[in-house]
């Protein structure tokens, strides 16, 4: 291990020279599957890390999660899989096969980062758990993602996002007040856990610059959920208040919800008193800003049943697109309720360039741009999501080559 915490000559030569991102030169051994782990490793890969995606001979589960699909020269491919696996290379290894297991263990020994989401303790029988790997690769940052942690009780529980949405309380907050609970439209806690795993990995890599040693980063969906519930979980732990479903209403702000215009709903928000004054000015009822019932946010929230019909009366006189332009121009946040198609189109209209093309020719895959922009070392997009074992031969050959000994220097 070098004093700056990097491991020399461990990334494959053909890739080490092609990446220029802030994580270029780092090797990530990605033993994860489905969503949280692959999302985390894709974020790292976009920033320059060399990610080797280790799959079972059957492949990542999401390869078969269809529809929708993208048609390719090789047949149909799950768009779910495509959305979280660019910039990686795939090798299929059967950990129950002695030769394949030896290659997996060698990969773990060369890695700067190892990422896995097996059930806690599940990799110990293969000698791929943190204790075993770090004993001979002390610089490894080993990131584990589970459903409910590695404690005696949590480790027994399988972790699926929908289960965590239910158990954490999110579903109790989603839906109409008099209706049934609903799940979010995406696997929101898988995504949060993937981001938290990325943050933890980068924090551990930064510490490694000082100490030369890695550490075990543990993330679980349940903790990510409770953290991600922010004001709602804080309402309970800080005051004992148990939040419940309010449909599209906000417990602490008004207006902050869809309001009907003459041809459909428009999201209208007023996050502070100044924005409310601007809003009612645009609507032609400026006197509402000085009404004692609505002067402060807490007043508007307490008296929302009286204020809402007054706002709706004005909004109902014109189409939502007209109001959108005028309200936005006044500096008050508002927006239409789009489909995903509309969301992508809107992002394009404001210059965000949300879609990137990964790969060339028939192998090109449209993909959603990395969410972080860096002025000096931007993300890049060099590899489309790999076919199962697409890079197996070259990775096996590389792992079979001996690596030079690495000198350890005390910080």
Task: Provide DSSP, 219-235.
Answer: EEHHHHHHHHTHHHHHH
| Pairwise CA distance, residues 329 & 261, whole Å | 18
Tokens representing 167 are 């158990």
Q: What is the DSSP letter of 55?
A: E
| Pairwise CA distance, residues 74 & 90, whole Å | 16
Catalytic-residue membership of 190: yes
Query: Residue 144's beta-bridge partner residues?
Result: 116, 218
CA dist 126 → 32, 235, 284, 310, 397 (Å): 15, 44, 70, 66, 21
Q: What is the DSSP letter of 411?
A: -
Q: Are 201 and 141 in contact (CB under 8 A)?
A: yes
Catalytic residue, candidates 30, 100, 190, 380:
190
Going by C-beta distance under 8 Å and a sequence separation of 6 or more, which residues neighbour residue 309?
A: none
Residues labelled as active-site residues:
190
């Amino acid at each position: 291990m070098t004093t700056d915490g990097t491991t020399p000559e461990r990334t494959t030569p053909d890739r080490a020279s092609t990446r220029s991102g802030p994580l270029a030169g780092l090797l990530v051994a990605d033993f994860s599957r489905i969503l949280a782990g692959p999302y985390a490793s894709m974020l790292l890969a976009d920033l320059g890390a060399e990610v080797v995606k280790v799959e079972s001979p059957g492949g990542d589960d999401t390869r078969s999660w269809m529809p929708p699909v993208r048609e390719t020269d090789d047949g149909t491919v799950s768009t779910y899989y495509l959305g979280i696996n660019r910039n990686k290379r795939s090798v299929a290894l059967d950990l129950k096969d002695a030769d394949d297991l030896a290659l997996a263990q060698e990969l773990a020994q060369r890695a700067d980062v190892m990422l896995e989401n097996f059930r806690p303790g599940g990799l110990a029988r293969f000698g791929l758990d943190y204790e075993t790997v770090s004993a001979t690769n002390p610089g490894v940052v080993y990131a584990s993602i589970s459903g409910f942690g590695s404690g005696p009780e949590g480790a027994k529980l399988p972790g699926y996002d929908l289960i965590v949405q239910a158990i954490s309380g999110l579903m109790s907050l989603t839906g109409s007040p008099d209706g049934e609970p609903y799940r979010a439209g995406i696997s929101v806690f898988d995504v949060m856990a993937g981001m938290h795993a990325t943050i933890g990995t980068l924090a551990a890599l930064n510490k490694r610059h000082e100490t030369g040693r890695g550490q075990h980063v543990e993330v679980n969906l349940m903790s990510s959920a409770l953290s991600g519930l922010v004001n709602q979980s804080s309402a309970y732990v800080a005051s004992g208040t148990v939040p419940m479903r309010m449909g599209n209403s906000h417990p602490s702000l008004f207006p902050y919800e869809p309001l009907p215009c003459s041809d459909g709903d428009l999201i209208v928000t007023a996050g502070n008193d100044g924005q409310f004054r601007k809003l009612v000015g645009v609507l032609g009822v400026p006197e509402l800003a000085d009404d004692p019932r609505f002067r402060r946010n807490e007043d508007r929230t307490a008296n929302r049943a009286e204020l809402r019909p007054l706002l709706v009366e004005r909004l109902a006189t014109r189409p939502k697109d007209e109001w959108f332009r005028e309200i936005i121009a006044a500096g008050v946040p508002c927006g239409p309720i789009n489909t995903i198609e509309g969301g992508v189109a809107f992002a394009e209209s404001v210059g965000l360039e949300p879609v990137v093309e990964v790969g060339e020719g028939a192998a090109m895959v449209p993909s959603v741009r990395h969410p972080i922009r860096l002025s000096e070392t931007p993300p890049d997009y060099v590899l489309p999501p790999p076919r199962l074992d697409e890079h197996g031969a070259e990775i096996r050959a590389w792992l079979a080559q001996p690596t030079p000994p690495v000198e350890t220097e005390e910080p």
